[in-house]
Amino acid sequence: MAPRRYKLNNAFYLGSDGNFEVPLSQDRRDMIKGAVMEYGAASVGIYQFRDNGESQKIISKDVFSDEKLSYYTGLQYGDNDINGSTVTFGTNHAVTIVGWDDNYPKENFAAGNPPQGDGAWIIRNSWGADWGGDGGYFYVSYEEGTLCDGVVYDTAAARSGERVYQYDPLGPVNWYSLYENGSTEPVQYFANLFTAAADDRISSVAFYVPEPGNGYEIKIYQNCGANSPVSGSLASTVSAVGLVPGYNTVALKTPVDVANGTRFSVVVKATTKEGGYPYPVPVEYRLENYSKAASANRGDGWVSGDGVNFQDIIDAYGDETASICLKAFGERQHNPTDTVLEPSGPVTVDAPEGVMASAEEVSAEDSTKVQQAVIAELKDENVKGIAADKNVALKGVFALTVSHGNTGGAASFTVPFSTPLSFAGEPYVIIPKKDGSGFVAFPAKYSAGSLSFGVSDLNEFFSTAEITVADVRESAAPAPSGGSSGGGCAAGLGAAALILLIPLTLVRRGRRS
């Protein structure tokens, strides 16, 4: 069975602007608790020693109680006075808050290094069950001063008909800037050029953010050339503020249709906040024992200082395996129509004796309502009989009334129309079930102005049904291995590590062009 993919719908930042205040205010505790209750978990940064031997060596204190499964350092995020010397403790690890115990006793923490009050978060570590604690779970005091940058991720099972365009299946390894450290340049651009694997509708993009307070503008270009991500026609623009540290998904206000085989681009303008972290570009590259399978191709990822003149990220970064961590999500194309279908004669019926049928036109208003309902069910992959990876263009709606008494079983109909129809793919009819439980699609044939189709059981669909005529065509070419589409670097439930936790020693400083 293929692994289930999850897509990140949204993310919510729980920090203030860096570390949590210590001790945590009741309001902040309640906010984190509410987020954990609603979404199941919250990802937070922490400074974590691996064992008491390490903590004794650095701060001359035990931080673990192996007996009580608890952890408390007594340190503050930032500068600390350790035996007369200033030592800075930031974040070196990510853990996940999965619960809490307001009454967890302060006496349960390491002897000689207790917090002042009771209460602890229940934490799931990411080092596996063999690391320690209770199968990898342990308690962290509410007063732990190195907790920072909490993020809650709202995820949902990814649709099977959704395509992921990406060059970073392993995720970010580093942050990059075009400029030398200390530059006052607040704006940089990063982009990816993709080749559409089929006729897709680009509905959202995703990338990584190093800290709160930055601003982003995302643009989608269609029909691009090979040498610049802004060489095509601008098709959609959306601004995004309030993005959280880590992985973010941004929905496009105007989705963009791309044709199979054409190039399109996602261009992100990143504006760093005043005094903020000056490396806004998330990059994947090959790093031994971490991302050694990373690879890249020239012409895929781009960076720029002005949004006009772009440089290949491989050249800018100086690494043949460097890729921009920026994704686009392609949904299937489901299109309504304004066409009013006009039945033009008697309906031919092939059914048990006594079954009769008649077809009639529906109003434009009713047609719109029915099509909206059908498209909503198509997007949710709930129309039985149409695969999730198909593009569907609706051709109109008509009403079919079937008089069949108590007779059930299969039946077929031929309905003539004065409205001419054309199909790029295969004709189908989408029929609501009589009990209101959903829609079922049946293949049809269109010839000489008439549409022929059959149903599996008259009792399941009639007496009167508003039937949608659909043009169903292929939309999903197989995803190329190692290419720009397919796969799923989409967030999983519980959320992974914060990207802020990438060691800053890995930052690659740029050069002025």
3-state secondary structure 106-125: HHHCCCCCCCCCCCEEEEEC
Q: Specify the fold of 161-333.
A: Jelly Rolls (2.60.120)
CA distance 222 to 226: 12
Portions of the chain given CATH number 2.60.40? 334-474
φ/ψ (deg, to 5) at 34: -60, -40
Query: DSSP strand E in 448-505: where?
Result: 450-455, 464-474
CATH architecture classification, 334-474 = Sandwich (2.60)
Quick: pLDDT tens for 70-93: 999 999 888 999 988 999 988 889
**What confidence score (pLDDT) does residue 443 get?**
98
Higher pLDDT, 508 or 287: 287
Portions of the chain given CATH number 3.90.70? 6-155
Provide mean pLDDT across the span 327-331. Answer: 93
Quick: pLDDT tens for 94-107: 899 999 999 999 99
Percent of the chain with pLDDT over 90: 63
Quick: pLDDT tens for 429-473: 999 999 999 999 999 999 999 999 999 999 999 889 999 999 999
> What pTM was computed for the model?
0.75
Portions of the chain given CATH number 2.60.120.820? 161-333
**Residue 139: Cβ-neighbour burial (10 angstroms; 0-12, 13-18, 19+):** buried
Share the mean pLDDT of the chain. 86
Quick: pLDDT tens for 206-248: 999 988 889 999 999 999 999 999 999 999 999 998 887 788 8
**What confidence score (pLDDT) does residue 301 get?**
98
- Our measurement of the distance from residue 136's CA atom to the centroid of its chain's CA atoms, rounded to an integer in Å, reads 27
Question: Among the CATH numbers 3.40.50, 3.90.70, 2.60.40, 3.30.1660, which is that of 6-155?
Answer: 3.90.70
Laid out side by side, the sheet with 187-195 consists of 233-241, 215-222, 263-271, 187-195, 301-304, 310-312
